[in-house]
Amino acid sequence: MKGRMTHKNYAKGQGSTSIYFLLWAAFSVFALIIVLLFALTQNLLLKQTYKDEITKSLAMNGTAIQKELNDYRGPNYSSFVRYQAALYDVGVYILGADGSVMFPIEEELDPSDPVFGEHMDFSEKVKRLRNQLTESKGMPVIYEDSSGEFVYGAVYGGETSEPVYLYVCKSLELSESVVKQMNVRMMLMAIFVLILSFAVSSAISGALTKPISEMTEKARLLAAGDFSVDFHGRSYGSEMQELAETLNFARDEISKADQMQKELIANVSHDFKTPLTMIKAYASMIQEISGNNPEKRTKHTQVIIDEADRLTSLVNDVLDLSKIRSGINALKIEAFDLSEYTFDVLEKFEYLSETQGYRFVADIEKDIYTEADPLKIGEVLYNLIGNAVNYTGEDKLVRVELKRQGDGTARFSVSDTGKGIKPEEITTIWDRYYRSSQAHKRPVKGTGLGLSIVKTILEKHNFRFGVESTVGKGTTFYVVFPECAPPSDTEK
């Protein structure tokens, strides 16, 4: 059928992402971020640790080398410099002011060779060293040069007129090689952790979303009219158990409403069918029998009018409830005499005293005023009194009271002497489709919507109301009205 969309199609049309995928993606991204942060932190910490250790060892070794060279008085000074370099695993050079290498001297190499000159040219490094020594006021210095080497530099105490410098250097090539190897291992470990996190997050996501998927399937069954579904599950957590209990409660209420709706349809159908049958029967009688008899025709047409009025009343009850619940009919609050209003409503039932022997005992205090919508409160009073008439006992006694409470409120109550309401039915009497399971005659006709209309109107007013009942003795419905001062003449 065109224009219809199933639940599945609607969900697909929304383009929503499943909770399973969101949880899986969240866990995976979280694991990826942790691995990357760990790798980055380790890399930075490792480099910084190497630099700190080299700086510390270079300071100690440079001082020791300087002392050894100053104290040495033996032959072959270049060999001794090379020995110190090998001993401390560093580069050791005695440099002139122009950057020339004074020691160690490589005798087997030709100084005029361009390759030799390129590797043994310390002119730029000496300039940097002199600047560092100037800033330190001649004290030994440790710094990192542009090539990434760490340098220990000091003024060498030689016997020449030109300044001579001790240049001790340590390369980071080894540490960088170690860092690269660790980065490779970290990358492999990151890949392994990511694969593991994907699998674990997938399993966790599946476990977390399984109850939701099960509830979704059960909800579809409920939507299809299966009220036997149970939303509880064995592997649910406390939150899911609470949700399951809520859904089970909703299931029970929907089931109850469905049953009551079916009862309403049956009741309303019966109530509509009776006057329609009467209208049709008496219309046929007018056509076939009483058409030329004014007396009979008047009698028969009056029956048709009465039944039509009854149909109108039934339809109005349904429409009123719908309008009140939807808020279409806004309340028109004003101050009015509730005592006089109660007397007026009670007078509408006097015909029952004259025709069927009902007894109405009224205990109504005078001059009780309240602020409310008079027309809506009139419906409340009429429905409550009519309900008592329908359910009172064989003595046909209905008691109506309106008394001050002494706390700024007045209590209106209607009591009958009927069979009472069972305790299990007390919570459902205000339902829209409620009608007592006990058989009774109904002098005041209705659809079973009266108490639901009463509840809706009083809730709109925020008035307190309730019911007290004893099985076998009767029932009392009550409403507590806030009192107010009488309106002034101008307000009237």
For the ranges 245-254, 313-322, 365-374, the one whose mean pLDDT is highest: 365-374
Residue scoring higher pLDDT (40 or 263): 40
What is the average per-residue pLDDT within 49-59?
Answer: 88
What pLDDT score was predicted for residue 116? Answer: 42
What pLDDT score was predicted for residue 435? Answer: 53
Instruction: Give the C-alpha separation, 264 to 449, whole Å.
Output: 9
What is the average per-residue pLDDT within 3-24?
Answer: 58
Average pLDDT, the chain: 80
What pLDDT score was predicted for residue 1? Answer: 43
pLDDT band, residue 440 (cuts 50/70/90): very low
Instruction: Give the C-alpha separation, 109 to 122, whole Å.
Output: 17
Instruction: Give the C-alpha separation, 388 to 89, whole Å.
Output: 110
Q: Any idea which of 29-38, 86-95, 303-312 has the lowest mean pLDDT?
A: 303-312
pLDDT band, residue 409 (cuts 50/70/90): very high
Annotated domain spans of the chain: 72-171, 238-315, 330-482
What pLDDT score was predicted for residue 38? Answer: 81
Taking each helix axis from N to C end, the angle separating 77-88 and 19-71, rounded to the nearest 10 degrees, works out to 150
The backbone torsions φ and ψ at residue 143, rounded to the nearest 5 degrees and listed phi first, read -155, 170
Q: Is 432 helix (H, G, I), strand (E, B) or coil?
A: coil
For 255-312, write each residue's pLDDT tens digit.
877 776 776 676 667 667 767 777 787 788 777 777 677 777 788 788 788 778 767 7
Q: Is the pLDDT of residue 131 over 80?
A: yes
What pLDDT score was predicted for residue 2? Answer: 43
* Among the four given CATH numbers 3.40.190.10, 1.10.443.10, 3.40.50.12280, 1.10.287.130, the one describing domain 238-315: 1.10.287.130
Tokens 């609050």, located at residue: 333
For 63-78, write each residue's pLDDT tens digit.
999 999 888 888 888 8
What is the average per-residue pLDDT within 411-426?
Answer: 90
For domain 330-482, the question of CATH label 3.30.565.10 is answered with yes
Q: Is the pLDDT of residue 13 over 50?
A: no
For domain 72-171, the question of CATH label 3.40.50.300 is answered with no
Antiparallel, parallel or unpaired: β 91-95 and 165-170: antiparallel
What pLDDT score was predicted for residue 160? Answer: 55
What is the average per-residue pLDDT within 116-126?
Answer: 70
For the ranges 24-28, 128-132, 446-450, 452-456, the one whose mean pLDDT is highest: 128-132
Q: Is the pLDDT of residue 253 over 70?
A: yes
What pLDDT score was predicted for residue 491? Answer: 56
**Inter-CA distances, 154 with 115, 135, 167, 477, Å:** 27, 12, 7, 106
pLDDT band, residue 3 (cuts 50/70/90): very low
**Burial environment of residue 416 by CB neighbours within 10 A (0 to 12, 13 to 18, 19 or more):** buried
Residue scoring higher pLDDT (112 or 198): 198
